[in-house]
Amino acid sequence: MSKPNNTLPKLDIRSLPGPDNILRRELENGIIVLARENFSSPSIVVSGFLRAGALDDARDKAGLANLTASALMRGTKRRSFNDIYETIESIGAGLSFAAGNHSTAFWGKCLAEDLTVLLDLLADGLRNPSFPSNEIERLRSERLTGLAIRDQDTGARAKLAFNKLAYPDHPYSIPSDGYVETIERLTVADLQEFHKDHYGPQAMIICVVGAVKAEAAVDAIEASLGRWTNLNKSNQPELPPIKTLQGILREDVVLEGKSQCDLVLGIPGPSRFYPSYIAAALGNNILGRFGLFGRIGDSVRKAEGLAYYAYSTIEGGLGPGAWQVTAGVNPVNIKKAIKLIQQEIGRLVTEGVTEEELNDNQANFIGSLPIGLESNEGVAISLVHMEQYGLGLDYYQRYPDLIAAVTREQILQAARQFLNPENLAIAVAGPGREHK
């Protein structure tokens, strides 16, 4: 059994977000508001999301949620495109929207004195977009240009191919920004209908952090968004079950004229709700993040010199995001790089991690927490994450103890539940020579 590590960083939990310095309130229309004061800076950050994302897209309209989110700033019933950006620029603020698989996120920043202006712009975009046809055509052209660039990017193409292999017949296999053919077919009416059916305050989360009293922040949000209703908002569809990978599934995407291959290798991993997610995250850090990209970096990049970069990620999220390794490799080294990565995965699920590796990574996780929370942006993102996954208002104050309690045995168990070097999806994108 792992022994308690008494050399881990000691944090003053009173300085961390917690029940005594976070105000949480649920408005009558279902919006959950989180507010935390910080008067050391004159700025305010607003962050959050609502439940409308690519999961709500029909397959023949892939990219609709993404395009709708991008169009919110292109004009409303009260403001033109120019009016919106002139207002933002006149107060030196920022405001943006972006859609992912499960949700449409928003982010804004302004001086404390301009909070009501920013919230008015946010509410107007969410509630009253007008989707002017000329702006939608410009946006469509921008999106099509982005997709053309994506189609020639080895990293993006490898990721697309990986998602098809790892998530067959699953929404995660469809890119949230869609395809050229689906974006070309989308109409203004499609955007209007998507907004009408999927935008609403139910289960929406909004967080305000900065130089404003918490009660005043909640009152400002209630004034701007508290009367918003959409009783006809559709429920987001349930995710279908994930098919267990059997054997090695591989796809090679040939992009002539490229000098490098991008490799994505992995499996569907745990969601953020997985009980041992923290143990899995620590295991991933040891596998391919810590220092110069962990064991994989040491083996593939440092010792053998096979990759320009090689690292692992564990996406987590509301559904089974990927646990994957990404590498940029010379085409002639692909076969050897894949073999070494499989060996490192095999070593993790058979030997586990050492006491020293565990201690070093626990110290890394604990020590980096206050760094991530030193800005209003970091706090806002963290509070939204905390609420989204039901972690509790005291989560960041409990976090050091949660990390310190993880054992080598828990990491081994989590790795074995998800990783197997013989059952992997492998996608390679690059020049069509010598990389198979």
What pLDDT was estimated at residue 6? 62
Q: Cα–Cα distance between 219 and 213 in angstroms, integer?
A: 10
What pLDDT was estimated at residue 290? 87
- The full set of domains in the chain, from first to last, is 31-225 (3.30.830.10), 248-430 (3.30.830.10)
Using N-to-C axis directions, what is the helix angle for 115-127 and 81-90, rounded to 10°? Answer: 160
pTM over 0.85: yes
What pLDDT was estimated at residue 436? 53
The ranges of the chain with pLDDT < 50 are: 1-2
Task: Dihedral sign for Cα 419, 425, 431, 432, please.
Answer: positive
What pLDDT was estimated at residue 4? 52
Alpha carbon separation from 131 to 37, 77, 192, 419 (Å, rounded): 36, 9, 7, 45
Q: Cα–Cα distance between 372 and 199 in angstroms, integer?
A: 31
Q: Cα–Cα distance between 342 and 426 in angstroms, integer?
A: 11
